[in-house]
Amino acid sequence: MAEGSDRRAVVLLSGGLDSATVLAEAVDRGFVCHTLAVDYGQRHRAELDAAARVSRELGAVSHKVVAVDLRAIGGSALTDEIDVPTELGEGIPVTYVPARNTLMLSLALGYAEVLEAEDLFIGVNAVDYSGYPDCRPEFIAAFEALAVLATRAGVEGGGLRVHTPLIDLKKSEIVRHGTDLGVDYAMTVSCYQADAEGRACGRCDSCRLRRQGFIDAGMADPTRYV
């Protein structure tokens, strides 16, 4: 019997390459997947449209969008009047959204309690990534500990695991793995400033990491560029 047979899981789904791969992984492992996308006031809705498409095509049993407008606090090029950089800089980039993964995992945790699910999946990566502090293994471990303390399920003896199947993989390895799982990356949107049709700019950090992943994997890049 597959690992997740008859077990519900909440999968955080952005509509990008990594989260699509994570959903395919969770489905392949036999989990009954409920996907959750967060409309946090990001620059475009193309990735939210892509998330719904990915959820449907990869076999999730439900898809939900929760709106939390992080434009109210700003502080990021994705939620504020700050230009998205096209050159690599030093330190944590301005595309880092303060507390975004903490917020998203908290929403997924609440949804998991409602569904009586004990498994969360998120596509964080600590190898080929932009240096965001909430993509590190230490953060995930801390959130798992918090989840046990902060929930009725945890207090009553239940557990909760945050699965991060991509956390130690290079982008090229993610691309190969997802392709083996049948992911059509043409339906995903990773660009920080995609246009209304979901076409990528090809210049932002996310686009560069994605493009290099396909190059290193020796595979054609299906991304639609402006």
Domains, the chain, ordered by start: 8-217 (3.40.50.620)
Say what the pTM is.
0.93
Looking at residue 89, what is its pLDDT?
64
Take residue 18 and report the two structure tokens written for it: 């990594």
Looking at residue 88, what is its pLDDT?
65
Looking at residue 85, what is its pLDDT?
79
Looking at residue 1, what is its pLDDT?
41
DSSP state of 133: G
- For the chain, list residues with pLDDT below 50: 1
Q: What does the H/E/C string look like for 165-184?
A: CCCCCCHHHHHHHHHHCCCC
Q: Which has the closest alpha carbon to 181: 7, 13, 29, 11?
A: 29
Looking at residue 159, what is its pLDDT?
79
